[in-house]
Structure 1
């Protein structure tokens, strides 16, 4: 009975020891490998990748940037390493109500790409995207106040260059690479007016083309009348051409009155006699 009791206690001790060993092994593995808690890297050894910015803080104060590689992260002072991605970021602004130079209200939206050039400043701001969005919307409002609505409808490429020039200064440690106006939303009444103007232009062009066609037709008829007046025989040739069969079609029937055909040459003289 005593032997069985010792066997049970020994088995329990083995299981407890095995569990404790696994816990210690997991803790050591996590410590040597390092963890990522949000943007913070912890562990005895920390790996910084080439596509990251790494910032080192000693006792809560910024110490410098950490280059890519594997680094020993243990010392008497508290060491905190934070990382930021190097890739370009995309930001699309919500439609913004603006007023043009000709006092017309409409909405603008833009898409912006930016990258981090000052990791410390970009990391220490509260909301990086909010700072960039504020800079872009402010530039859009200023751009709208300097140009007319027609410029936004016809000179989009030039305005994109002007918008990017207005955002040339770094914003919260970020440099804006591109900024493009993606949406120009007009109020219903302005859209209606523009539609009416374009319709009037198209109707004027259609009327002009019809007048040109009628003028060309009249000029052609006038030329034909002058040719028939000087050469009456052409009328007979035209009638014969109309009576000829073409493309397998049935020959047309033409009813002419007396004296409809004019004689040609000797026949004309005979008829006159």
Structure 2
């Protein structure tokens, strides 16, 4: 799958107005979601996935095979996303058993170089509704790195998705996710200015056909022109989205 998207920043003071604009554009109320994102980093040297139960018994077996192929050429940071309910999951002394919960594995590649367009393009693999994801990753040499909370408001018009996202810090935990989450009201945004990021997205499932990717790029540019008096969509340095793990430096031998 290839993901194409536009990016704009929205001030917190302008957020309600921005949501109202997209509500009118899409004729729908926003879908509000909160996810707990766990980050796992791979080994310095790339290698394919070993067969695990999560891999072999999944109805998304082909996606696991595609992911294995990508990991065989480069090592990456992978996200595991678990949807939460603020009133239920925050400020309670309950430990989430991630292996027993359905989560979504997210992998994204380094975006393509920009070519006179604000549209970012990158390969993406998402494997939804999977149990046992942390075990599947640790069995393949991945290590837990850290975690974060993602809050999103999304709108959809035909095949175009409009998503406002903001991220929140969690207290540090030694080598594993927190046993219990703090109250929702105590969370503080990662961005001190508390801005929201708006992404206007299109997914091309069959990215082996360049004309389909070109068509999607054109559709996003039409949306940009439609909204350019309201949102300032900018070209983003692709290094911002780099999830690759750099290999250890090569130390030349003597003589």
Q: Smaller-chain TM-score range?
A: under 0.3
Q: Which has the higher strand share?
A: 2
> Higher relative CO (CA 8 A, sep ≥ 6), structure 1 or 2?
2
Bigger helix fraction: 1
Q: Which is higher, the Rg of structure 1 or of structure 2?
A: 1
Q: TM-score, normalising length from structure 1?
A: 0.18
Q: TM-score, normalised by structure 2?
A: 0.19
